[in-house]
A and B are shown apart, each in its own frame.
Chain A
């Protein structure tokens, strides 16, 4: 263990821990925008700077490992002044449109601007202006809101292993984009969306469906496949407006495109609400009892005439484990056949 002090408090952490993690383990807050615990430290936003006794310039706590007897100060007037300058700089090139931003209320930059009281900004000047819109089906990329924290680039490369995006151009013109600035054409896992601290990356389906303050979060399990990813439904007025996943889930917060963006069927007006029975080639609405009776009688007749093995069941990955269990039980115990299969087995 390495023993050090942070703001005068003794802290002990394992060797190799960063100052940031050491501080957070002691419940000492340090602001960050580019840090993510599961991604390689980046040191880009510079907000996590701290003073270390004996080092004559601020160091980024997210990249600096602790050392024995280190004396760290996280909130000196000088450090806080520099953090405010950095926020002013970011905001001097950020659209001032929190009023209409999807991310308002759930935006790391907005939170920091609030806590640092950045209302007046000493800096004005050119702002990035991007005319073209990305026409991909899932992810809204509003690059004027991008703060170049690089989390999306890292998550795509390090977690998803895709590398669909990277930084192009230099300096003020630096921009995160797919190759040749084409429309995004990737797996659309949306990992990038989940780590974006601002409104630069959002789901296209989220637009104007409700912001975080109106949201009720419901934790559940994704019904799409057997992985059983933990998901959180963001519900407003009994409607799912987006899906996220918490870091402490079995899937560590990462999802696939179906789990993240494939929820719109739930509230689809085209979805069946009542059973339909086809008579003479035409569907008609029916009651549940009538439909069940019809199934029982038809299955009974087939079983009697051709034997139970004439019947087969195909279960769906979209059903829960319990539903799938019951279905196979039904096929084996009630129908009396082993002809039961599942789409995810393929």
Chain B
């Protein structure tokens, strides 16, 4: 039997929001408790550390726990508190990993094709300890920038790296910094946009939860390059854990003189304040974000003037997204060439995506720009759930579009996604299969943008409402001939005339679904059928005589009493009474209920 006190043991428990939701706190407590109970507590600090780490991507398999014993790492998945005892007994004490609980091939496959820059330290370091970040080279970049480089050199380096904004628009970061630096002003600001609001997107949250110091370091580098002495992180109040870790990180950074007056004795002063967003999606739009920080209603204003000329309180302001800023320290540490070696000619580096939908390995991934979409779906994502057929991939969230399965071989970068009518956006990636109705998908995103429109400009306020209403009637079987053309015409006018990015991109899900799935729209309108069997008003359920065994399962679950039939006789559904809930369809073991 090994002596665990003498061995070098590290236990890492995933404590991103996903990990905590799956029970990470309890798992970690039980580890501490049981290890202490075995009398190893005394030496816990010396030889054994248990610490929380940020998200490592594969949230679908939380709680993930790494047990590193004398350098050998075993990662366990789906860990519950009652499993801890056996891991300690057999692995920590006995030296034999509990292989049946360890992650399988898919976990490794999930990580193999990824290239982690922004996420490289997420999941390895303790986000609540600055020393943990410093131990992997953290704040080296800041020290180098403020002590050895001129602002012009810093900007040149970022420009050379080819880094483009990760918030959606893809504007070259170095160019933005350069413009802001060149504007004469008594005061300048740098703002980190952490108002991540796309449904299903959690890239920025995970970065802040897993490695908040990288964002702070990136911001401070940016501030020194443009000449700002004050910064804001505009972050959603709905991200309590990220806010807490950020606050904690800011405090630690100030204590170590990475923030505040006279940073590292260089004479450069800069500090960051947190501004909590109140839950308006439109506040992710930079001018609305500025209005919100100024205490006004979060409504966009016309550009020009752009924030780099006239931003917060009328002063030149750089607004960068979380992921953009978190890239900065790594680019400075490893060099522009290193970063530019990833990606395509025009889209350099890596991009973080939130891979969700009908995919086996849903989670957070970071891939080099230019990776084929097919590799993301099948190699990293492990393919489609239940071996169904893939239908489309929706990228860019509510501002993005749907890429049909035929185009799965395109590469994922700013240019190629734009060519097929979608966008990289902030990094949402929702995989849709044959059971998804594309009209319904378009409706879902429109519901979101319509309710999040600020109401300032007519096309967005009323236009998206009318788009949604047309989609609603199409899915309810009340679609009119000409509705597809009306949708296209209105969508194009909204795109062209809306004031800000929200309205300008809100019609994209409608346009791209019509472009690639026009036949589905036509089926809804002319045949009054939903080919995917999703739109309830267009469904009818019938018992298929040849398959029905008369078991009565459908009759028992029907909430409306629409199914009749004697035992061992073919049953019948009364369409007049049927409420189309689908309970019979799910209950039938013999596939004897026809849906269509």
Binding site for B on A (CB under 8 A): 41-46, 49, 57-58, 60, 63-65, 81-82, 85-86, 89-90, 92-93, 122-123, 125-126, 147-148, 150, 166-167, 169-174
Contacts and interface: CB of A to CB of B under 8 A. Distances in A.
Contact of B461 (A42, A63, A125, A172): A172
Given A65-B304, A170-B453, A58 B461 contact: no
Contacts of B499: 43-44, 46, 60
A27 B489 CA distance: 32
A170 B452 contact: yes
A8 to B, nearest CB: 23
Contacts of A41: 302
A4 to B, nearest CB: 16
A308 B466 CA distance: 79
9 contacts: A64-B302, A85-B490, A86-B497, A89-B458, A89-B463, A89-B466, A170-B280, A170-B453, A172-B450
A125 B454 CA distance: 20
Nearest to A171: B453
A125 B465 contact: yes
B295 to A, nearest CB: 12
A161 B574 CA distance: 67
Contacts of B498: 46
Interface extent on B, as a size class?
20 to 34
B497 A93 contact: no
A57 B496 contact: yes
B412 to A, nearest CB: 24
Contacts of A93: 462, 465
Contacts of A167: 297, 299, 455-456
Main secondary structure of the interface of B (DSSP, over half): helix
B445 to A, nearest CB: 14
Contact of A170 (B454, B469, B489): B454
B455 A86 contact: no
Contacts of B454: 170-171, 174
Given A57-B496, A122-B486, A46 B462 contact: no
A123 B459 contact: no
Interface in B467-522: 469, 486, 489-490, 493, 496-499, 504
A126 B465 contact: yes
Nearest to A93: B462
B140 interface: no
A81 B464 CA distance: 18
B441 interface: no
Given A58-B497, A170-B452, A92 B458 contact: no
A64 B297 CA distance: 22
Contact of A82 (B457, B464, B496): B496
Contacts of A90: 458, 462
B301 interface: yes
Contacts of A150: 456
Given A43-B457, A86-B458, A92-B462, A170 B451 contact: yes
Given A44-B458, A86-B497, 12 more contacts: A44-B456, A58-B497, A82-B493, A122-B486, A125-B465, A148-B455, A150-B456, A166-B297, A170-B282, A170-B452, A171-B465, A174-B455
Contact of B452 (A60, A86, A171): A171
A89 to B, nearest CB: 4
Contact of B453 (A82, A92, A147, A172): A172
